[in-house]
Amino acid sequence: MGNQISQQLLIFGQSILLGLALGSLYDLLRPFRLRLPRLTALLDAAYCLAAGAAAFSFLMERGGGELRGFMVLGTVGGVVLFFCAFSQWLRPIWDFWADTLAFLVYLLSFPTLWLKNFCKKMGHRGKNLFYFAKKCYTIRKTGRMCVSRGGEDHGR
């Protein structure tokens, strides 16, 4: 009987660790949800899928496929413990890393902006080149430059 109790106590401790991990994942997504409000639903859906997969695999591996009350209590207790004890101290760290990641994305966007501006300039120059080529072709074939002015040949 003592072996079964110690096994259940071990699973209870592991479910508390699972709750701490799920709480830290949710807290890690908080700065991204605050900075990118349009992605809140997508990030919440991703969290729910990750939390569900983690809970299901924990249930299958450690619980032997049986949902036990102390496992649910331990997981919920781990999440509550994380938000009461650790969340306020880890929030500045998550904010720092979210800002660092945003700055890195900003720096990596420079080559894309340069390429966009280069393509825009090449498109403008190409447009002028084709316009000039059309004029040259018209002059060579007809001997005169074809410029229509305000309905001059409109009646013909």
Given a cut of 50, is residue 60 above it in pLDDT?
yes
The pLDDT of residue 23 is 95
Q: Contact 139/145 with Cβ under 8 angstroms?
A: yes
pLDDT digits (tens, 9 = 90+) for 81-106: 999 999 899 889 989 998 998 899 88
Q: Tell me the pTM.
A: 0.66
| H or E segment and range at residue 122 | helix 110-142
State the CB neighbour count (10 A cutoff) for residue 91: 14
The pLDDT of residue 133 is 67
Backbone angle region of 142, left / alpha / beta, with phi > 0 → left and psi within -120 to 50 → alpha: alpha
Given a cut of 70, is residue 71 above it in pLDDT?
yes
The pLDDT of residue 1 is 45
What percent of the chain shows pLDDT beyond 90?
Answer: 47
pLDDT digits (tens, 9 = 90+) for 118-154: 888 887 777 766 666 666 666 666 766 555 555 555 5
pLDDT digits (tens, 9 = 90+) for 14-50: 999 999 999 999 999 999 999 889 999 999 999 999 9
Q: Contact 19/74 with Cβ under 8 angstroms?
A: yes
Distance separating alpha carbons of residues 35 and 126, to the nearest angstrom: 40
Amino acid at 23: G
Distance separating alpha carbons of residues 95 and 3, to the nearest angstrom: 44
Q: Contact 31/98 with Cβ under 8 angstroms?
A: yes
